[in-house]
Amino acid sequence: MIPALEAVDLVRRYQLEGVAVEALRGVSLRIDPGEFAAIVGPSGSGKSTLMHLLGCLDRPTSGVLKVNGVEMSGLSDTELAELRNRTIGFVFQSFHLLARTSALENVALPLVYRGVGKAERLSRAGQALESVGLGHRMGHRPSQMSGGEQQRVAIARALVGEPKVLLADEPTGNLDTRNGAEVMAILDRLNGDRGVAVVLVTHEQEVAAHARRQIHVRDGLIEKDILA
């Protein structure tokens, strides 16, 4: 089985005011297709840095990272963006929706970069919104929606390209308890019904408990890796 994500001895070093800071100090892990894993740790532990590397939003200082069997180090920025667009879906704490654009058009946006025709991408975007229970909100802009609805639009946008992996960075962080539970129920269902590998970054144990595997990060290293 080809791993959905595979990291070997990842190091990420930043220069801050002339001082080298190691956010990750040699992290190795494997995420298999259909897995549901939570990356857990306190603020400053390196968990968000790890997610950005796994999502090909950043490049490691050293180490090997493979996405669906493809090593990213040899790819140009254009090739990396194409791999990311076709393989990985993202859900962020702050939604990142276009404010003046309808839910339908927000969800369809990743398909624009693939060159999918307008009729097909709007059809697929509509199906993705239906799958998260927002078929009745397709024409609404983000400002006309609750925080929970905006996050569900973001999940639909992440899914419209049929990714192998869904990366979710604190997806309930800006939501109240009820909306947070609804978002987690959707992620549970997508993982169970569609077999999408979900990697969830969180500092909340209640959210991490949805995952069948918990990867605890501290001081830039994996402290423990637990199967539920």
110-165: pLDDT as tens digits: 999 888 999 999 999 999 999 999 999 999 999 999 999 999 999 999 999 999 99
Q: What is the pLDDT of residue 93?
A: 87
CATH of the domain at 18: 3.40.50.300
Q: What is the pLDDT of residue 21?
A: 87
Asked if residue 10 belongs to a domain, the reply is yes
Asked if residue 152 belongs to a domain, the reply is yes
Q: What is the pLDDT of residue 15?
A: 85
pTM attached to this predicted model:
0.91
Percent of the chain with pLDDT over 90: 84
Structural domains in the chain (count)? 1
CA distances from 58 to 1, 50, 62, 105, 206 (A): 26, 9, 12, 27, 28
Q: What is the pLDDT of residue 98?
A: 94
SS3 for 118-131 is HHHHHHHHHHHHHH
DSSP 108-160: HHHHHTTT--HHHHHHHHHHHHHHTT-GGGTT--GGGS-HHHHHHHHHHHHHT
Asked if residue 63 belongs to a domain, the reply is yes
Q: What is the pLDDT of residue 153?
A: 96
Q: What is the pLDDT of residue 211?
A: 95
Q: Give residue 172's domain range.
A: 5-97+148-227
Asked if residue 135 belongs to a domain, the reply is no
Residues of the chain with pLDDT under 50: none
Asked if residue 193 belongs to a domain, the reply is yes
Asked if residue 115 belongs to a domain, the reply is no
Asked if residue 136 belongs to a domain, the reply is no
Asked if residue 103 belongs to a domain, the reply is no
